[in-house]
Amino acid sequence: MRPGPAGGGAPPRGGAPPPPPPAPVAVDRFEGEVPFAAQPAEGIFTWGGDADDPPTLALAERADAPEGAKVLEGSYDISGYGGFSHDYAAAGPAHDWSAHKGVRFWWYGQNTAPLPPGSGKRISFEIKDGGAHGEASELWTTSFTDDWEGWHQVEIPFADFVYRTDYQPVGGIDQVLGLTEMWGYALTLPPGGPGTFALDGIELYGKADAALKASVVTDAAVHPVKQGGTAEIGLSVATTGSAPLEEPVTVSYTTKGGTAAAGTDYTPVTGTYTFPAGTASGTTHRVTVTTKKVTGAASAKTVPLELTVTGARPPKENPQVVIDAHGLPYQNAKLPVKQRVADLLARMSPAEKAGQMTQAERNALASQGDIAAYDLGSLLSGGGSVPTPNTPEAWAKMVDGYQLRAQATRFQIPLIYGVDAVHGHNNLVGATIMPHNVGLGATRDPKLAERTGAVTANEVRATGVPWDFAPCVCVSRDERWGRSYEAYGEDPALVKSLETVIQGMQGAASGKDLSRNDKVLATAKHYVGDGGTEYGSSTTGSYPIDQGVTKVTRQELEAVHLAPFEDAVKRGVGTVMPSYSSLDIIGDDRGPVKMHADAEMINGVLKDRMGFEGFVISDYKAIDQIPGDYASDVRTSINAGLDMIMVPTAYQEFTATLRDEVAAGRIPQSRIDDAVSRILTQKFRLGLFEKPYADTANLERIGSAEHRAVARQAAAESQVLLKNDGGVLPLKSSQKVYVAGSNADDIGNQAGGWTVSWQGSSGDITPGTTILSAMKKDAASVTYSEDASADTTGYDVGVVVVGETPYAEGVGDVGNGHDLELSAADKAAVDKVCAAMKCAVLIVSGRPQLIGDRLGAVDALVASWLPGTEGDGVADVLYGKRPFTGQLPVTWPRSVDQLPINVGDSSYDPQFPYGWGLTTLKKPPSGGELTLTALALAARLTEKAGLAHTEAGRALATQARLLVQQKAAGTFTEAFSKPFAEADHLALTGDLTAAMTQYRAAYRAA
């Protein structure tokens, strides 16, 4: 701080001196006033890319501390990313930093010799502005370099911070650094080697710059108008805290540059406007730009309005008027799609074609103007990449804002926006969350699967998103895989039977329904074999199995992994996504080949043999895993048949590289034209050229009672009753029930991964009904004690709800911090409750859990899978409102040593076989083998009549299964389990005759 004048003399000429800057305000002194803590409590906490990356921190007394007695010391050795944050309490008030110029702190330099400025290790410093709390705020970032030795005070003016574009936890709020609602800061430490640091005395300093307190904003960056129309551009002043302007703000404007011709296409405009001091924040001045009619067809033309601002921050970019393209054949909705595609393709430049083949993550955009600058064809929201607030209206507004930017391109080709809505619109808080696919596999209900797809499509399209990266039609062959719950099961016949979900999403296989406001483009993924990777074959980080190698014979590849994709193609699926994994076909001498590089499988099998007419979209940054440099990655993947690349961050590098490869002749022009034609075809079918913006007519149906009823039915039908000694289930409403277990009252655990965020999380993350709260609606008396610490005497029955916490992808691989065992707390709860009373144990999980050593003490056992937000569906079967009808979609192992274990294995002796599922629907048929003989005869006649896949055919198989299950009485041998599981598989294929033969073998072995 600069000292004031000495003594009490008269003020200098020109009036009173300016007021002194405000005194510094401490943010952190590191004397112990702020604890090390975990969110959401206020405190300092560490984070990192993996278990080793978070730094270690300590408050240490040091004689050389610049301020106070203690400093914050730390050590680190970061391979990915890591650092620490100080977040203010989520329940407490935000802080106001708007009166100050910037933030400063003392940093202990680690260099033993002076370095040129900017050459030391770089440390990122980030502040958290606005939003709900420190983990739901905008991130603004800058950095400094450690160029000195010993203590040095680093000063960072707030003007140096920029909006972070590579990652935002919740997406843009208003992208204005308001400074009135600050939630703390974060430091990201340098990776690549071990290091130490020391930090002290973080404080706010100086007086805020006037220009930081006011800004000029435009109502929109792009203003499309029809030829001859008039555009009005709103220029508004916005102030920190919405206070009136302290000083006047002047805006000079002129139409300048662009592709439109001044005087021919529009009337030039020039002027100046001043917002006087005292003007209210939000006041708007409008500038009118008039366009002219010109004869003939034309592409779109731009008219930028150049702004010069004095006294405030200018807009991030100048607004522009766009004179719409008109009169071109591709714009004629009456023409056949093929003709429209050919016309548009013939007009496009290499850059425009490259842009159409590019998909960027929305948060990776350096600016939204890059959508037009790079002619981007697609954006996506990765898991957890959401607007703020995370509401249906905000989603629609966000997507519309991106679509508006595409209108500034020559041909105004709309974006196709994609999301991973893998069990409902799962990124959206309040959406209807279905059971994960493994639960739908347990329903064995194709019509219900179609209805879940229709509900998901309705909710996704209502928010302006026309493309869903679902369904996963993989066949899960090893439950150690962290994605196993994304599969319908281990049997390709089961997976194929439930691909009706594609019709629910898209409608007719011809694509004629795609333009409806309740349909989306579906994606069959992950092509091919991602469910068959060998344990220990992955080379991705700490993943043991995800993204590994699938080693199969050609016959197994065709029968198990390719068959579901062939069915998806027949159903008209619009896009296919290759797998991160590699394919190693035994005997072809090629060795493992990354699927994103496998031309034989993509061009040869998928496109040529199967006749797939849609387009192939890469997985997230997946081409980077192809061996070779980046140019080789691009060349190899595109030549292998990929049509659009989910870059997702390096879109500038990708588009430039793609164009260079084509120009050099290493990618044929015909390959590019084929890819772009496929992409444009789906955009035309979706009706995006006519209606690029969100049709919000169905917004009110998102999370509606009607939609939740479908999810409730799916949750109920997904419940698999594995054991029910003494008829413990269904429960009676009159019973006094003791409920325990970690998953009884947790929506986040119930929904699993891919819910609101990529990995999902425990807790009350989205509206819904927990299993406990649903049970309370039906029971006269329910006592809940999560850890079973409450007294267990005096109850009729106990219900213990246990299982997994959320995970996704390779993070959930067994061996990567996960296993198939219940937690110690869950085991203790099962032991205590089941020792005290009759008990039912519900396992809420994405895969089987090892329960064998406790099975004898459990009266009833239910595989609840991940039922989603509608716990009412689980309560419906517990209390007999609906019968248990679910069947195991995967084999339930006795031990982890049995894995992988699947129906059809030569050796097959599981805890519960594939297809097992007791029912409370009705008593099974009596009569033993005589009844089986009669059912076999009826099955043969049904099969001959071509009705094997109808409800009548399925009913015969179900009758036989129930009869066999009753004979088994829960006692399993290999002689029983092997034919029993194979019978269920055969019934799904439509071979009822062979299924009945296997059921008879199982009956005799029981």
* In the predicted structure, residue 829 carries a pLDDT above the cut 50: yes
Separation of alpha carbons 740 and 64, rounded Å: 54
Q: Which two tokens stand for residue 358?
A: 């590019």
Q: Determine which of 90-94, 265-269, 560-564 has the lowest per-residue pLDDT on average.
A: 90-94
Distance CA 324, CA 291 (A): 11
On whether the CB atoms of residues 578 and 596 are closer than 8 A, the answer is yes
Angstrom distance (rounded) from CA 418 to CA 425: 11
Query: Which residues have a Cβ under 8 Å from the Cβ of 254 and sit 6 or more positions away?
Result: 268, 269, 270, 271, 305, 306
Query: Please, is 632 exposed, middle or buried when counting C-beta atoms within 10 Å of its C-beta (0-12, 13-18, 19+)?
Result: middle
pLDDT for res 592: 98
CB neighbours of 601 closer than 8 A, spacing ≥ 6?
A: 527, 528, 583, 595
**Amino acid type, 688:** L
Q: Judge whether 809 counts as a catalytic residue.
A: yes
How many CB atoms are closer than 10 A to CB 117?
9
Whether the pLDDT of residue 266 is over 60: the answer is yes
Residue 5 has pLDDT above 60, yes or no: no
Cis peptide before 528 (omega within 30 of 0): yes
Question: Do 782 and 794 contact (CB within 8 A), yes or no?
Answer: no
pLDDT category at 260 given cuts 50, 70, 90 is very high
CA 833 – CA 792 distance, rounded (Å): 7
Identify whether the C-beta of residue 892 lies closer than 8 Å to the C-beta of residue 911: yes
Give the distance, in angstroms, between the CA of residue 315 and the centroid of all CA atoms in the same chain: 31
Q: What is the pLDDT of residue 172?
A: 63
Residue-level pLDDT at 210: 65
Return the amino acid letter for 451: R
910 prior amide bond cis, ω within 30: no
| Greater model confidence, 39 or 505 | 505
| Positive/negative CA dihedral, 570, 571, 573, 579 | negative
Which tokens is 729 given? 């289930």
pLDDT at 240 over 80: no
pLDDT at 147: 78
Q: pLDDT tens digits for 333-380?
A: 999 999 999 999 999 999 999 999 999 999 888 889 999 999 999 999
3-state helix, strand, coil in the chain (%, to 5): 30, 25, 45
Is the separation of the CB atoms in 317 and 217 below 8 Å? no
**Burial call 12-41: b when 16+ CB within 10 Å, e when fewer:** eeeeeeeeeeeeeeebbbbbeebeeeeeee
Backbone angles phi, psi at 363, to 5 degrees: -75, -10
Q: Report the C-alpha gap between 436 and 490 in whole angstroms.
A: 15
Residue type, 407: Q
Q: What is the mean pLDDT of residues 109-126?
A: 74
Q: What are the angstrom distances between the C-alpha of 374 and each of 58, 299, 366, 377?
A: 47, 17, 11, 9
- Type of residue at 875: A
- Listed residue (574, 686, 694, 691) closest to 337, CA to CA: 686
Task: Tell which residue, 459, 526, 541, has the closest CA to residue 495.
Answer: 526
Q: Give the model's pLDDT for residue 171.
A: 60
Q: Do residues 405 and 394 lie in contact, with contact meaning Cβ atoms separated by under 8 Å?
A: no
Query: Are β-strands 43-48 and 82-87 bridged in parallel, bridged antiparallel, or unpaired?
Result: antiparallel
pLDDT of residue 771: 98
627 pLDDT band (50/70/90 cuts)?
very high
Structure tokens at 676: 């772009």
Task: Give me 491's structure tokens.
Answer: 């049997």
Q: 768 Cβ partners below 8 Å, 6+ apart? A: 433, 747, 750, 751, 868, 869, 870, 871
Cis peptide leading into 471, omega within 30 of 0? yes
CB contact set of 993 (below 8 Å; sequence gap of 6+): 936, 939, 940, 943
Bridging pattern class, strands 214-218 and 182-188: unpaired
Does this model's pTM top 0.75? My answer is yes
Of 203 and 51, the one with more pLDDT: 203
Q: How many CB atoms lie within 10 A of CB 52?
A: 13
Query: Which sign does the torsion angle of CA 87, 91, 94, 95 carry?
Result: negative
Name the helix (H) or strand (E) containing 977: helix 974-989
pLDDT score, position 355: 98
Q: How confident is the model at residue 924 (pLDDT cuts 50, 70, 90)?
A: confident
Buried b / exposed e across 847-868, counting CB within 10 Å, b at 16+?
Answer: bbbbbeeebeebbbbbbbbbbb
Reported as a single tens digit per residue, the pLDDT across 845-862 is 999 999 999 999 999 999
CB atoms within 10 A of CB 515: 17
The gap between the terminal CA atoms of the chain, to the nearest Å, is 88
Question: What sign does the CA torsion over 361, 541, 550, 808 have?
Answer: negative
Is the pLDDT at 179 greater than 60? The verdict is: yes
DSSP state letter for 347 = H
Sign of the Cα torsion 176, 177, 182, 185 reads positive
Answer whether 874's CB lies under 8 Å from 745's CB: no
Contacts 24+ apart (CB under 8 A), 665-670: 666/635, 667/634, 667/635, 667/638, 667/639, 668/639
* Residue 872 is a catalytic residue: no
User: What pLDDT is recorded for position 134?
Assistant: 82
Of 478, 568, 578, 517, the residue nearest 898 (C-alpha): 478
Compute how many other C-beta atoms are within 10 angstroms of the C-beta atom of residue 725.
13
Out of 108-117, 189-198, 699-708, pick the least confident: 108-117
Q: Are strands 194-205 and 378-381 parallel, antiparallel or unpaired?
A: unpaired
Query: What are the backbone dihedrals phi and psi of residue 636, each rounded to the nearest 5 degrees, phi first?
Result: -65, -45
More confident residue, 797 or 215: 797
Residue showing tokens 């209108």: 407
Distance in angstroms (rounded) separating the CA atoms of residues 255 and 233? 12
Compute the residue count for the chain.
1006
Angle at CA of residue 372, ends 381 and 320, nearest 5°? 120
Catalytic residue among 491, 530, 619, 859: 619
pLDDT, one tens digit per residue, over 859-910 is: 999 999 999 999 999 999 999 999 999 999 999 999 999 999 999 999 999 9
The answer, yes or no, to whether residue 65 has pLDDT greater than 60, is yes
Q: What is the pLDDT of residue 212?
A: 67
Q: Worst-scoring range by mean pLDDT, 713-722, 826-835, 863-872, 919-928?
A: 919-928
Strand order in the sheet with 121-129: 43-48, 82-87, 182-188, 121-129, 138-146, 162-163
pLDDT score of 170 more than 60:
yes
Annotated catalytic residue within 265, 478, 809, 826: 809
Would you tell me how many other CB atoms lie within 10 Å of the CB of residue 922?
A: 8
Nearest partner of 686 among 455, 508, 467, 418, judged by Cα: 467
More confident residue, 132 or 153: 153
CA angle in degrees (0–180, nearest 5) for 646-523-394: 70
